[in-house]
Structure 1
Amino acid sequence: MSELLAAAACTPARLSDLGTLLQVLGQFLSLSLFSLGGGNTLLAEYHHLAVDQFCWLSNAQFADLYALAEAAPGPSSMLVGLIGLGASWPEGPFWALLSAYGAEVAILLPSTLVMVLACLSWKRLEHSPWRRAFEQGLGPITLGILFAVGLKILRTADTNAAGVLVSVLVCVLMLRTRISPLWFMAMAGLLGALGLINR
Structure 2
Amino acid sequence: MTRLIHLFLVFSLLSVMAVGGGTAVLPEMQHMTVHTFHWLTDDQFRNIYSIGQVAPGPNMLMVLLIGYKLAGWAGMVVVGIGFFLPDCIITLFVNRWWVHLGGWPWRISIQRGLAPVAIGLMTSGTYAIARLSVVDVQTLGIALVVFGILLWRHVNPGVLVLVGGAAYLLLR
Common topology (TM > 0.5): yes
Distance (whole Å) between structure 2 residues aligned to residue 129 and residue 166 of structure 1 = 46
Counterpart position of 2:40: 57
- The structural deviation recorded for 1:21 is 2.3
For 1:183-198, list aligned pairs within 5 A.
183-194=159-170, 196=171
Deviates more, 1:164-173 or 1:63-72: 164-173
For 1:66-85, list aligned pairs within 5 A.
66-85=49-68
Quick one: which of 104, 112, 136 aligns to 2:80?
104
- The structural deviation recorded for 1:186 is 4.2
Higher Rg: 1
Quick one: which of 141, 155, 161 aligns to 1:180?
155
Aligned-residue identity in percent: 26
Counterpart of 2:48, as a letter, is L
Higher helix share: 2
Number of corresponding residues = 171
Counterpart position of 2:129: 153
Counterpart of 1:178, as a letter, is R
Higher relative contact order (CA 8 A, sep 6+): 2
Contact 1:77/1:104 (8 A) holds in 2: no
Contact 2:34/2:45 (8 A) holds in 1: yes
Contact 2:50/2:161 (8 A) holds in 1: no
Contact 2:24/2:122 (8 A) holds in 1: yes
- The structural deviation recorded for 1:40 is 1.6
Counterpart position of 1:24: 7
Deviates more, 1:107-116 or 1:125-134: 125-134
1:33 counterpart SS class: helix
Which ranges of structure 1 fall in alignment gaps of 5 or more residues?
A: 1-17, 89-95
Contact 2:139/2:168 (8 A) holds in 1: no
TM-score, normalization: structure 1? 0.79
Deviations 1:147-192 (A, max 9, x none): 11111111112211110121123223322x1241345334313313
Counterpart of 2:132, as a letter, is T
Please report the RMSD computed on the Cα atoms of aligned residues, expressed in angstroms.
1.7
Distance (whole Å) between structure 1 residues aligned to residue 11 and residue 162 of structure 2 = 33
Contact 2:23/2:126 (8 A) holds in 1: no
1:115 equivalent to 2:91? Answer yes
